[in-house]
């Protein structure tokens, strides 16, 4: 029994060291966050969804701005196929452009057809391991679980949408819809550091 | 015509004061500035961008360090990851902040291909800092520095 206790203690210690957000294959937590229309939104509200394209994004970041139209296009293409976009602003309210009022203004100006949620406590960004904006987590519903299937960039060219060669998120969702494995299941991208509350 | 001479010098003077030109490099070229230098100089490479507030905030710490170790085998290399379309903007920033001596703009294509080549632990978030010595990377960190915390790392790697 002593040995077992030692092993479990070691596992707990190891987990706390590696516990910086989700890896592909992990179960993602649901949340209850305030949308720009004032309503609270959870993943479990979407009874018929097959999964989600969760995008940590914001107003102020030049990369998020460069990808805004592409995020809108992802929702247009995939919401009807069961993978809606859920946009989450993880930044501390000290960033003026990213205030709730400015989120509302942006969602209205661009007529967002998907929720744009405020992660006020930053707990969701922390749990998911969002590092920068935009940072995408594609989740697949499996019973009552939300399994992480892809983590990373939207595509391979932030500068120029017309010069994109690899549409990572589209590729991931297409493969999930076709019942195929997602490859690549994770990518890296440059983005704006999330402004954590100090 | 004598009166023109001082005028000419005044016109020339701002260019003498600044003049750290931003050099656009690909990954291979970037590596010749630090990773491929086989000598005993410590190359401190800071990845930043004009749009990144925490990066801009920590730049003075790197400039102070650069002064402190001037002539002492520590060299700062500032690598902007702004879009290559913004090279003019980066140059203006470099001029107004007198950033240098070496300022590069990394134009290396798909970040998913090159981020891991700089460090596999890097998520792609900036600021990030790598230190090279004798052709080897001896340090990498994603996150901000103060003068004190940077100085500690430089002291330990020198």
Each domain of chain A, given as residue ranges in start order, spans 22-193
Q: A124: helix, coil or strand?
A: helix
Note the pLDDT of residue A14.
40
Token duo for residue B85:
């379309």
Which residue from B54, B81, B116 is facing A190, i.e. has the nearest CB? B81
Residues in chain B within 8 Å Cβ distance of A90: none
In this complex, do A188 and B111 lie within 8 Å of one another by their Cβ atoms?
A: yes
Note the pLDDT of residue A193.
86
Mean pLDDT by 10 residues, chain B (158 residues): 54 56 97 94 97 94 95 96 95 95 95 95 94 96 95 95
Predicted ipTM > 0.95: no
Which residue from A131, A152, A187 is facing B125, i.e. has the nearest CB? A131
Burial status of residue A100 (CB atoms within 10 A of its CB: 0-12, 13-18, 19 or more)? middle
Using an 8 Å CB-CB cutoff, list residues of chain A that contact chain B. Answer: 61-62, 131-132, 152-153, 156-159, 165-166, 168, 184, 187-193
State the smallest CA–CA distance between residue A1 and chain B in angstroms.
37
- Residue of A73, A83, A84, A79 lying closest to A110 (CA atoms): A73
Note the pLDDT of residue A196.
87
A to B CB pairs, distance under 8 Å: 51
Q: How far apart are CA A49 and CA A35, in angstroms?
A: 18
- Residue of B79, B65, B54 lying closest to B154 (CA atoms): B65
Note the pLDDT of residue B3.
57
State the smallest CA–CA distance between residue B140 and chain A in angstroms.
16
Question: Does pTM surpass 0.90?
Answer: no
Which residue from B54, B112, B125 is facing A191, i.e. has the nearest CB? B125
In this complex, do B52 and A165 lie within 8 Å of one another by their Cβ atoms?
A: no
**A138-141 long-range CB contacts below 8 Å, 24 or more apart?**
A138/A51, A138/A52, A138/A53, A138/A54, A138/A83, A138/A169, A138/A172, A138/A173, A138/A176, A138/A182, A139/A28, A139/A43, A139/A51, A139/A52, A139/A54, A140/A50, A140/A51, A140/A176, A141/A49, A141/A50, A141/A51, A141/A52
Q: Are A189 and A152 in contact (CB under 8 A)?
A: yes
Class of domain A22-193: alpha beta
Q: How far apart are CA A149 and CA A184, in angstroms?
A: 10
Q: Which residues pair with A147 in a beta bridge?
A: A27, A140
**All structural domains of chain B:** 18-157 (3.40.30.10)
Express each pLDDT in A121-178 by its tens digit: 999 999 999 999 999 999 999 999 999 999 999 999 998 999 999 999 999 999 999 9
């Amino acid at each position: 029994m002593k040995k077992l206790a030692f092993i479990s203690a070691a596992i707990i210690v190891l987990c706390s060291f590696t516990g910086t957000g989700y890896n592909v294959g992990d179960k993602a937590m649901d949340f209850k966050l305030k949308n720009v229309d004032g309503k609270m939104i959870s993943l479990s509200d979407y009874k018929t969804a097959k999964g989600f394209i969760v995008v940590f994004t914001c107003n102020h970041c030049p990369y998020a701005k460069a990808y805004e139209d592409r995020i809108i296009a992802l929702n247009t293409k995939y919401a009807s196929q069961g993978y809606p976009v859920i946009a989450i602003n993880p930044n501390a309210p000290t960033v003026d452009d990213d205030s709730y009022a400015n989120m509302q203004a942006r969602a209205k100006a661009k007529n967002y057809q998907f929720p744009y949620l405020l992660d006020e406590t930053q707990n969701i960004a922390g749990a998911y391991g969002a590092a920068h904006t935009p940072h995408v987590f594609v989740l697949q519903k499996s019973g009552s679980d939300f399994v992480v299937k892809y983590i990373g960039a939207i595509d391979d060219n932030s500068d120029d949408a017309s010069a994109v060669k690899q549409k990572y998120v589209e590729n991931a969702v297409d493969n999930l819809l076709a019942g195929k494995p997602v490859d690549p299941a994770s990518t890296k991208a440059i983005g704006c550091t999330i402004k954590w509350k100090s | 015509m004598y009166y023109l001479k001082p005028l000419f010098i005044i016109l020339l003077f701002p260019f003498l004061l600044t003049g750290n030109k931003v050099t656009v490099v690909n990954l291979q070229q970037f590596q010749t500035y630090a990773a491929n230098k086989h000598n005993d100089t410590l190359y401190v490479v800071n990845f930043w961008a004009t749009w990144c507030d925490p990066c801009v905030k920590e730049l003075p710490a790197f400039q102070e360090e650069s002064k402190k170790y001037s002539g002492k085998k520590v060299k700062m290399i500032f690598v902007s990851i702004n879009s290559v379309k913004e090279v003019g903007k980066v140059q203006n920033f470099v001029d107004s902040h007198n950033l240098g001596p070496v300022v590069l703009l990394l134009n290396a294509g798909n970040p998913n291909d090159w981020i891991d080549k700089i460090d596999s632990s890097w998520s792609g978030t900036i600021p990030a800092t790598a230190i090279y010595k004798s052709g080897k990377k001896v340090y990498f960190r994603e996150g901000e520095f103060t003068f004190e915390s940077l100085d500690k790392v430089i002291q330990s790697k020198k």
